Amino acid sequence: MKKYLSLVLAFCMVFTLCICGTGAEAAAEKQKIVVAFNDASDTGENGFTYKWIKAAADKFSNDQYEIVIQDEPVSDGDFTTKMHLQLSDASTAPDVVLYDGFQLQSDISAGYFISLDELAANWDGWNNGFISEHTKGIGTGIDGVLYGIPAFTDTRCLWINKDIFEQAGLGADWQPTTWAELMDGLTTVKDKTGVIPIYLPSSEGEGEKTTMQGFLMYYYGTGERLLDEATGKWNINTQGLYDTLALYHDIYANGLGMPEAEILDSHARNTATDYFQAGEMASYQYGTWYASKFLPQNSPWEGFEDIIKPVKIPMQNGGGFISLSGGSCLAISTACECPEAAFEFITMLFTDVDSYVDYLIGGGNLSVVPSASENEKYVSEFPFLDEAIEYLAFSYYRPANENYASVSSFIATAVEKAVTGSAEDALAYYNQAVINLVGADNVTDGGYLK
């Protein structure tokens, strides 16, 4: 009997230990929420985006959830390709993606992201003005459904080296009001100083940078638009498209840009920055965030605030100025098993204003939280913040259309064809490429090329 009782007690002890062990393991098993972003500069844990996400993750992680940061040190194009592959498979898809707004549209049509309408409706920050109304379109699909919470926005301009423009006799306050004045100014710089007048992204390899940083800035300055939002049709074969492609051709045909071998190289941006810093290039067309590159925590350029300044891009024939705005957003994948928790984490990214401001300053990005724009550090350390915000008044967003990413690639190819060949051939290529993509019934032909 004693032996039997001993066996029973021993069994009970083992059974109890097993239950306790299983419970401990279960308690330790947190549900992971994977957050993916592109760390193109390969800065890892020292990067401003990583630090922003990590600060929120430390506050959010609890007994139930754990934030796992997936930073990808790849190019923008490679990040997009990798996300497409991961998102197409529920076993590899991250839960939250910090994504460029224009790439989001094609992935929406592929069914990779969930609607955030209901979740946002229950978030006071979405409804009480905490998030700027102006930026909400960054993450909204063509169907009018919200798929991404905006992380930041931006504007674009032409950066000039004031000293070089002084040497050319144009003055540090040079501001062209038409394309003709712009071209005259660049020509004067070339003739009077001998330095390269302008860096303008102009290759197929630069992809969206060619489209967004330059082409759309000038094309929208003609008064035309890529897409008729009312009809959903793409505009092709127009005077404005031709004029914009001809502008690119003229810049390089007249020796106002970088040598062809350099501008078509995949490292053109870096080469141009080297020229710009060395005083061997007069102007650099890019986003208003470009100056943040030279902050002490990034790639320091001592005294850059006194050397360079932003200049507005003029409308073709005067009458105002033009800018394009982009930005990234935070989207939740359809593979996410805890969308409510993932959305709660997204909202936490904006509640720590100091951390969010550090993120904005590091990338030179504009806040989507109006109250953050009053933060003392943001105001004092963001280079040329007033100008960047001013340009929002005449800035436009890219079309919210699932075909935009493909059309953008056609534009980049057409620009390169204009640089290396003719504007006519470039336009003919673009016209046919768009028709092949969307069909003849979904374009409006402007009749420029007969």
| Total tally of structural domains belonging to the chain | 2
Number of H helices and E strands in the chain, helices first, is 20, 14
The CATH number of the domain where 214 resides is what? 3.40.190.10
pLDDT in tens, 314-328: 999 999 999 999 999
Report residues of the chain scoring pLDDT below 50.
Answer: 1-27
| Sign, Cα dihedral of 34, 39, 43, 48 | negative
Judge whether 6 lies within some domain.
Answer: no
Residues 271 and 164 in one domain: yes
Taking CA atoms, 233 is separated from 211, 236, 409, in Å, by 19, 9, 18
Which residue, of 308, 342, 364, is where some domain finishes?
A: 364
* Exposure on the CB side of residue 231, measured as CA atoms within 13 A: 11
Residues 145 and 183 in one domain: no
Judge whether 14 lies within some domain.
Answer: no
Judge whether 181 lies within some domain.
Answer: yes
Q: What is the model's pLDDT at position 28?
A: 58
Q: What is the model's pLDDT at position 12?
A: 39
Judge whether 238 lies within some domain.
Answer: yes
pTM value? 0.87
Residues 290 and 242 in one domain: yes
Which residue, of 313, 342, 364, is where some domain finishes?
A: 364
Judge whether 395 lies within some domain.
Answer: no
Q: Which residues pair with 140 in a beta bridge?
A: 146
Positions of E strands within 266-333: 283-287, 308-311, 313-314, 321-325, 328-332
Residues 63 and 121 in one domain: yes
Taking CA atoms, 53 is separated from 42, 94, 255, 293, 328, in Å, by 16, 14, 45, 20, 14
Q: What is the model's pLDDT at position 376?
A: 94
Residues 283 and 410 in one domain: yes
Domain that holds residue 357: 32-150+328-364
Judge whether 386 lies within some domain.
Answer: no
Q: What is the model's pLDDT at position 105?
A: 81
Residues 411 and 319 in one domain: yes
> Tokens for 389?
């915000």
- Rounded CA separation 302/5 (Å): 83
Q: What is the model's pLDDT at position 17?
A: 36
Residues 189 and 302 in one domain: yes
User: 97 with 80: CB under 8 angstroms?
Assistant: no
pLDDT in tens, 336-372: 999 999 999 999 999 889 999 999 999 999 999 998 8
Residues 71 and 203 in one domain: no
Residues 299 and 351 in one domain: no
Judge whether 373 lies within some domain.
Answer: no
Residues 141 and 233 in one domain: no
Residues 45 and 121 in one domain: yes
* Exposure on the CB side of residue 358, measured as CA atoms within 13 A: 17
Judge whether 94 lies within some domain.
Answer: yes
**Residue 62, number of CB atoms within 10 A of its CB:** 9
> Tokens for 228?
């008729």
Q: What is the model's pLDDT at position 268?
A: 95
Which residue, of 344, 364, 384, is where some domain finishes?
A: 364
Residues 126 and 220 in one domain: no
User: 94 with 34: CB under 8 angstroms?
Assistant: yes
- Rounded CA separation 350/352 (Å): 6
Q: What is the model's pLDDT at position 26?
A: 43
Amino acid making up residue 140:
T
Q: What is the model's pLDDT at position 103?
A: 83
